[in-house]
Structure 1
Amino acid sequence: MKYLLILVMVLCFHAPSLAAQAQDLSHKSIVFGVHSKTAPLEWRNNGVDQGFNLELIGRIGQLIDKRIVVRRKTFQQLLTDVHDPDCPIDVIAVVSPVSIDRKLSQSDPIYATHAKAYTLQGKSFINSWHDLVGKRVAIKKGAFVDVYISGQPQEFERVDVDLYETGFQLLIKGEVDIVLAENFVARRLMPLYPKIRSSSDPLIYGAFNFVSNKVNAALMAQINDALRQLKLSGEYDRLVNKWFGTGREKVDLTSTQQKMLWLAIAVSIISALGMILTGYISRSLRKRTRSLNIELSQRRKAEHQISNLSQQFQSVLDGIPHGVTLFNRECDCLWSNDNNNELLENPEFHFTDGEPFELKITLLEVLNSQKSLIEDMSFLDQFWQIQIHPIGEDQAVILLEEATERQQLRQANDEASRLASLGELSAGIAHEINNPTGIIIHSVAFLNDALKDLQPASDAYQKQNPFWLIAGLEPERALHELHYSCLNIDEGATRISRIVNDLKRYALPNIASEHQRLSLNEVVQVSLRLTANQIKIFKIRTQLQQPEPMIMGDAQQLHQVLINLIQNACHASPPDDGTDTDDGMISIETSIVDGKACLIVCDNGSGMDQATLQRITEPFFTTRRSCGGTGLGLSVCSRIIKEHQGEMQITSRQGKGTCIKLLFSLEPALESLR
């Protein structure tokens, strides 16, 4: 009993000290409420809390000399706690719409994000809020989407959910039509729900903020000072690059957002006037003056924050390496970061299929249809991608990005894949076809020799029996037909053998040591003589450079290339109808362009669409399968041109014709070598 009394006295003596320590500890710590499981913001890995928001608040705690204590609760519980001034939760991180402030003490913007619509695969694209009319839309209670639409007319059926994942589950079950979800959470959930897709452009822009009860206004001021210090020192950018890998979020400032910002300023002014009027009625002149001074300070602080946010977004847009331009319906440039936008007015800037690009016409088509346009473009030897996205009815943003390297990598990968597959296929085909082809050629040669030996015997027997017939024909005519048939069989077998050899040579390395100096004009003249029978029903126009361009190459292989190109032009063009029009015109010309020997073959025939043009050099791809085409012609030509260190450029428009340009290294004239 004695010891118990002593213990009670000691506790009573130390009780004020313990209370003081607890109070001192609360002053030296910040309780940070966490609800998110979304990387890279806030999540737990192997029992360790980590993420961008956690590391940022931890660094802020170091700057203001406070320890950070993490408490995990549900999102709804954290919202309830942060509105309770007596709750131990000091700060939470939430998303607020860009144009609407929460009714809490909040920090400067931390990181930009957005919300958009998500639907099941196959559903229509959501172009604007108007497309939500009459639909069942899942909205997370208390989230920044909820804050944004509160107090606004809602022409859709709202379905409140506790989590975005609950909304995705209802979407799978068919109980809602659309989920309006924040970007970071949706990206984490979509791999778990493969039937769900993103079906709109951003509908709401928002920013992460630290928020707290207004009783913690002094604490929030310290947090803001520390946050600004981190941004000025560059440590904030290092954290952004660490957790997001792309620098600050790139969000386009549209005129709509700017209008909303001005509306927010107007609302704040009206609110300030209302507060001034209320203070004038309810308080004395001295208290009223004090209230006005406080309100004016808050207004300046809000304006400063909005100005900083606008400057940050402007610097982000100016720092984007790609071209970003905002146009109105009259094709007036409203804003531009001046990166590569001169291409939009350049006549050499056109679609990859050759169709010219008209800025105003294309812009009006996008605005009238309210559908985004994403197309591949060409400019000289470069490839570009253009994106045009409508913003409302009268404005559109145009994004320009160079895609030359990506296009070259894609072409190189396709070429490597074709060579690999063809290399594996060639050996088997050659083995299976060459053996029976050799038997045919050998047998036909035997038949030819036998027919020559049978000719005297046939003549002698016919004298004895004038009415003797062979297969219903006179002996002389029958032997002639047999000889002609043997020639056809031999020609067909030789063609089979040539196709197999072409297929084998397609994957063989170049043997440059066998190349000789030759005239490009002579290649054209020989090829025209060899195809004289085919081209006689067409109009042929030749224009040969003088002095004739000289190159290093294999004449037989180049004859094969040009003959194939001429035959393809004949197949694609209508025959000459005897009129003065250019129908059935095939033009062949040689020239010297930029120090290279150039050979061009053009026709005004049927042309090719973009899909055919992309596959035209693939082995066994042909549009004339029913007419006997093998699909090896242009693939072999492509291989031969590459063996000659040349380049083949193909342009074609459906209904307008095709033009194929071959470029070779030019050999100097013999006089200059002496």
Structure 2
Amino acid sequence: MKIFVNLICSLCTLCALGLAGLSLPAHAADSHQNQSIVFGVHSKTAPLEWRNNGVDQGFNLELMDRIGQLMGKRIIIRRKSFQQLLKDVHDRDSLIDVIAVVSPITIDRELSQSDPIYATHAKAYTLQGKSFINGWNDLEGKRVAIKKGAFVDVYISGKKQDFTRVDVDLYETGFQLLIKGEVDVVIAENFVARRLMPLYPSIRSSSDPLIYGAFNFVSNYKNAEMMAQINDALRQLKLSGEYDRLVNKWFGTGREKVDLNSAQKKMLSLAIFVSLLSAVGMLLTGYISLSLRRRSKALKVELLQRKKAEEAISNLSKQFQSVLDGIPHGVTLFNRDGECLWSNDNNNDLLTSPEFHYIDGAAFNLANALSDALVEQKSQTADMQVNNQYWQLQLHPISQQQVVILLEEATEQHRLRQANDEASRLASLGELSAGIAHEINNPTGIIIHSIAFISDALKDLSEASDNYQRQNPFWTVAGMAPDSAMNELDVSSQSINEGAERISRIVNDLKRYALPTIANEYQPISVNEVVEVSLRLTANQTKIFNVTTDLLLPSPVVMGDAQQLHQVLINLIQNACHAIRQDAECYECKEHINIQTCVEDKHICLVISDKGAGMDSATLQRITEPFFTTRRSSGGTGLGLSVCSRIIKEHKADMQITSRLGKGTVIKIRFPLEY
């Protein structure tokens, strides 16, 4: 209510002054001005000039008030914006007589100016984390906020500016632009910046003083005489020591002026709160001290018990740590009675499962296994099986009463061992095949040589047979007429020769297939010949199917190893035969298997297509994975296409597989075109 009354009184005073100014004649107005000084203020910054509870106060105002007393004039305060005050002091008809502004110490303003009132400076301010500003050169290329008309503006006017200047009406506006990222630096006067920084905690002082200045009273040239009187009064205050008293009053604490009444109330409330808190703390301290005394004896006993417990826990922890550090598998710790003390394995229920047995079929008994390990005090390892999974079981005694069991799935390792055994058998079979082929070649050579002799002999005997038949018309050969018998003997000799040559070709193909692979010695290979040899080697399997070929002539040639390519194509032909056997409807097709060679898109292509059962998308995605097979029950190992895929990659080729259930499968092998 008091503030409201003061506001009304102020408005009434302003209105009265305004009406008086309008109604008084010029000489009356001049007479009024001679009795007072209109002091324009704009700042909200302590300790210079600010309004608190409707009252203007501060160092500048109190200093001007004392100067007015010495001059015998009343000081009238008018509060406007900084830009408006600058405009007013340049206007000869303005009612504003004096304002307080900062001027650079090396540059005077183009107005009547008093002696320095108080020293200040301007610094650069940036966001936290930005680099330090060591001088004006560090502002190059940056966006710098400058308060229009302020002493920073006066200082840099007419000087080279390597930065982008952004004019603002207030330093606070510059700080707001800095927060928004629209400027990089604000150059602000010290007292104003100190007031603003608590309101903008992300802003910091980033330089030493860049400009030194001083507060001065400034007036229009029409008031030059008045400014001389202000200077005289100011010097008198300095000589009397009263100026120093004012400086000590407003600046002596080294911080901005605060509202003492408010501070006193806050400090009183804080002191009361601290006193109460101290009293409560003293009571609590006394109570706690008594409790501590009562508990001290009990704590001694408890500490002894804890030491014993910690020793036991430490021993157990070391045991566990030694096991866990050395073994990456599932771990289960048992005592002599078969109780599980600790486990990190989710599969420890297998140890008590009736389906969990040794790989040789013997039943597994956990209690007997623990007892044997503790009695012998030796680690034991066994291969186990449950359903179609294989596991490795390890038992390690770690004391006289405890055994740790390690359980690791070994299904893949088991299958790898089986595959290795199968590979060893195949290698032995290859060596055996090479030996048998060599042994077969000898009688085959004899047959071919002998049948050639018989054929030549039959030609010579044909004329003798005709002559003898004329002499003895009733002569027969093996119950047949001589001419018919001679024809039959000729046909038989030709059949024997063809059969022997076929045996020779098959044996030679088998010998080449059994030769060891030398990957670094690839040679030009006829793709058509690979097809023909593979078909001869699989003739026994494909004889019940209709196999057609569409081979490009002349035959395409690729760089590679013939034996490996035979292995790939034989495997694919065998897979096609198995796929057709799975689908009985395929036997009615006119074309079961087709093999084609061609050249397309700068690639030599070998295409094997069948009309078999086909594959679904899930099977197609895994078809080249090792050990994946759909014929596990019939003896499939799942290694055929995996090996084929490796061989094809070694030949810098790729394999494309397309398949649909009930429609068959097409496999295209694409070799780079090198010839």
TM-score by length of 2: 0.36
Bigger-Rg structure (1/2):
2
